[in-house]
Structure 1
Amino acid sequence: MTLVLSSGNSCQVCGSERLRELVSFRELPRVTSDARPWPAGGRLACCEECGAAQKIVDDAWRAEIAQIYRNYELYHQSQGDEQPIFSGQSTGPQPRSALIIDYLDGALTLREDARVLDFGCGTGSALKTFSGRHPRWRLYGAEIRDDARERLVQLPNFVELYTCDLDAIDARFDLVTLIHSLEHLISPVDTLIELRRLIGDDGRVFVQVPDCAITPFDFVIVDHLTHFTVESLRRLGERAGYETVAAHDALLPKELSWIGKAVASRDRPAATPHKGMDEIRAQVDWLNAQVRNSRELARSSANFGIFGTSISGTWLAGAVDEEVDFFVDEDPRRIGREHMGRPVIAPDNVAENSDVFVPLIPKVAAAVKSRLARQGVRYHAPAEIVR
């Protein structure tokens, strides 16, 4: 595995110019965050000072991002509805935004008519949930396009959708949420600094991002620039001038949640020990092994399928390509449709003498395999990550 010092880029988290590229990542097929396969050729680096993983921002990456966002369609497999989350609670799968509002109601005390901005509001799923829970909140959204405007204006307490630069917004908010948007941003520190002006001294910022320490699949998402651990998320927030009110991985599986409060001044966070490159190398090796193993399994199988039609399933299908015969999914909104030109079927409808690969983190994949395997249908889970 070759490591190459990257020049002309600084760390998105700490600002250091000591970025080192993991060249073997270039071999991996990729996927977009709206679940579309993407070819190999990405560049992934690790900061030698703080250990944060991130893409290298060059002309090729910028061109890819522009292409992705021209045709971006979030949750297109479920007609724009957000994906249900299996949180481990007895209530079963719930929308992500419902779990978030439960958490925010317990963690923050906002006035009944609070002004709330969802930065990167997407199709408006979170704002819809906020509206139902708090009908007196005044709700605002921010996005790069106005595709969701028609949906948003149906909310009785929705006020405005911003599609302008942050410095053109002349308003104050009690809460700004960034739900799976910070990882997409070039210069996330600068964005958080700009948001301080919009929340004043009493407002709060809530951020939710994927936890790359738990899910290596985050690395192969083309339009995810920065890959966070709880330590790097806290460090980035504090570098932007916030006091960390909360930072943890307990709200949702494979995701990190952070609440920040703006402070007048803040010393640059001290460097802390980290595994850095060794950890990222192990995860990239694990992803490459999944591609090799699934290709071998597909070639030897009479009927080969992949479990899931979201990020990881689409990524692996793009890597295996023509060898995939079908997808297996448990979401009733996706069953009976097609994904990547292949049928999406329920677990009970998988034909005998079939092999199904489960591209999820090992613990979750093993649970799926144990739960769904039956006579004549073989489910295959990836090996543990060797760290």
Structure 2
Amino acid sequence: SFFALEHIPDPRNTVRQIASLLNEEGVFYGIVPDTFGNVADFVVVDHVNHFTAPSLRRLLVDAGFAEVEIDAKSHRGALVFSARPGAATAQTLNVKATVEASRELAAYWHRATEQIRFAECEIDGSPIAIYGSGFYGAYIFSTLENTETVRCFLDRSPYQQGKSLFGKPILGPEHLPIDVSALLVGLNPAIARAALAQITWADRAQPKLFFLDGI
């Protein structure tokens, strides 16, 4: 199961069906987004389920799996798991840390929205561009109160350049319009600053950068 369970309305029934198809030597391998390792998972519209290590373990055990192993390190932003059919030993899960992490995640998205609002006030109607034409860029655009100020999206991917998003062109960074002096960075904050540090702005001054986690 490769990034499927987060899209399925009834994962419990699905996992039970998978368990019923395996013989005693079978192994169920899968990958799901890590809600805390990939903060975008929390607000992606077609992710109807969100997984933490304790909730994933509970799902698998309740479906009839044992020898459950969950790895949160091998795949960035994901939980890689394996499980075998069988009766698992009863376990008491300590979810205190998970509850606290959930509160921190909710606060993160609240702060990100506030940062977008702050940037919009600072720019005060001047032309802007959004760096990144993926999830984070789309999130920024959808959060803006006035999208008319957005001239374009920027993206280094040649597969994105030449397309459009929300009716705005997707350009390479070197084609940033000269009248745009502010850039809202729509990248995962964990990599955003390192990614922008690699950009050269040709013969123009670097625009003012606004990051989701602060200036």
Question: TM-score scaled to structure 2, two decimals?
Answer: 0.82
Mapping for residues 3-18 of structure 1, pairs under 5 Å: none
Query: Which residue of structure 1 lines up, in the alignment, with residue 40 of structure 2?
Result: 217
Change (3 A) 1:230 1:366: farther
SS in structure 1 of the partner of residue 198 of structure 2: helix
Query: Which has more helix, going by share of residues?
Result: 2
Distance 1:273 1:230 in 2: 10
Query: Which residue of structure 1 lines up, in the alignment, with residue 4 of structure 2?
Result: 181
Distance 2:182 2:69 in 1: 43
SS in structure 2 of the partner of residue 202 of structure 1: coil
Change (3 A) 1:224 1:238: same
Query: Which residue of structure 2 lines up, in the alignment, with residue 269 of structure 1?
Result: 91
Q: CA deviation at 1:343?
A: 0.7
SS in structure 1 of the partner of residue 97 of structure 2: coil
Distance 1:183 1:279 in 2: 19
Distance 1:281 1:273 in 2: 13
Q: Contact (CA 8 Å) 2:127, 2:181: kept in 1 or not?
A: yes
Distance 1:212 1:367 in 2: 23
SS in structure 2 of the partner of residue 226 of structure 1: coil
2:117 to 279, 284, 295: 295
Distance 1:216 1:238 in 2: 26
Q: CA deviation at 1:299?
A: 4.5
Whether 2:107 is the aligned partner of 1:285: answer: yes
Distance 1:243 1:191 in 2: 17
Query: Which residue of structure 2 lines up, in the alignment, with residue 314 of structure 1?
Result: 138
* Unpaired runs of at least 5, structure 2: none
Query: Which residue of structure 1 lines up, in the alignment, with residue 176 of structure 2?
Result: 350
Q: Contact (CA 8 Å) 1:234, 1:258: kept in 2 or not?
A: no
Q: CA deviation at 1:245?
A: 5.3
* Unpaired runs of at least 5, structure 1: 1-177
Q: In structure 2, what residue type is equivalent to 1:280?
A: S
Distance 1:244 1:365 in 2: 38
Distance 1:331 1:250 in 2: 27
Distance 1:183 1:207 in 2: 11
Distance 2:90 2:11 in 1: 16
Q: How many residues align?
A: 206
Q: Contact (CA 8 Å) 1:184, 1:223: kept in 2 or not?
A: yes
Distance 2:181 2:78 in 1: 32
Please give the per-residue CA displacement for 1:300-332, whole angstroms capped at 9, x wherever unaligned. Answer: 433322222222221221111614321122221
Percent identity, aligned pairs only, is 23
Question: TM-score scaled to structure 1, two decimals?
Answer: 0.48
Query: Which residue of structure 1 lines up, in the alignment, with residue 52 of structure 2?
Result: 229
Q: Contact (CA 8 Å) 1:245, 1:259: kept in 2 or not?
A: yes
SS in structure 1 of the partner of residue 46 of structure 2: coil
